[in-house]
Amino acid sequence: MSDQPAAPGEPQPDMEVRQLDATRERDFWAVHSTEHDCGWCACAAWWVPTWEGFGARKAEENRGLRAELFRRGEFDGYIAYAGGEPVGWCQVGPRDRLAKLVKQYALAPDPAGFAITCFLVLPSHRRRGVARELLARVLDDLRFRGILRVEVFPRVEETSDPLDLWTGPLSLYAEAGFRARDPAVPRPPLMLDLALR
């Protein structure tokens, strides 16, 4: 990696995005390190049955759940690399696999629909356009794979706290063309039809 960091708001010039698989588990754990603010979750939030008590869960519990997901062959996302080092993560997969998400938003079944449900960028690489570039490349790959519909679930309220932006900021998705199916619904899911993109 270059010794000169990218300017705020600019992507890393050497950024790559790769779909998570069994050969990249170590890279997943590097991004989800307990040494920084959001690493304790291990992207387990949508996999637990309820929000009750989730904030009190220990990192070991979440890491154990994630390890079990890996053992089951659940590699649900993409990793961003800068200079060959893992710096970001985006959780992506079939929407209906996440029962808690479907229940929380009262979603009708959509076996063909996908969902983007989490972003995590290492503190050292935030405000450099990593999430924007990661989203763009994920959408390109989903379209290449024949996925037609993608939904996202951003926080609507304005905030700059990374702990509140784990589902992705509203502005990121709006810029990419996501729109609410029903704007009258509080905090509505946003949808993008990749066939029209």
Quick: pLDDT tens for 24-43.
999 999 999 988 777 789 99
The identity of residue 76, as a single letter, is D
Q: From CA 144, how far away is CA 139, in angstroms rounded?
A: 9
pLDDT of residue 36: 75
Please report, in angstroms and rounded to a whole number, the separation of the first and last CA atoms in the chain: 32
- Amino acid 4: pLDDT: 39
Q: Is the pLDDT of residue 67 over 70?
A: yes
For 29-41, b/e burial (b = at least 16 CB within 10 A) is bbbbebeeebbbb
Our CA angle for 58, 155, 185, nearest 5°, is: 125
Average pLDDT value for the chain: 87
Summarize pLDDT for 133-170 with one digit per residue, the tens: 999 999 999 999 999 999 999 976 665 566 667 898 88
What local confidence, expressed as pLDDT, does residue 155 receive?
77
Q: What is the mean pLDDT of residues 105-126?
A: 93
- The kind and range of the H/E element at 80 are strand 77-82
Q: Which CATH superfamily is domain 15-196 in?
A: Gcn5-related N-acetyltransferase (GNAT) (3.40.630.30)
For the segment 173-177, the average pLDDT, to the nearest whole number, is 94
Give residue 121's pLDDT: 93
Sequence spans of domains, the chain? 15-196
Q: Cα(86)–Cα(108) distance, rounded to whole angstroms?
A: 35
pLDDT at 184: 63
Residue 53 CA to residue 82 CA, distance in Å, equals 35
Nearest alpha-carbon partner for 20 in 148, 128, 120, 149: 120
Query: Is the pTM here over 0.85, yes or no?
Result: yes
Report the percent of the chain where pLDDT is more than 90: 70
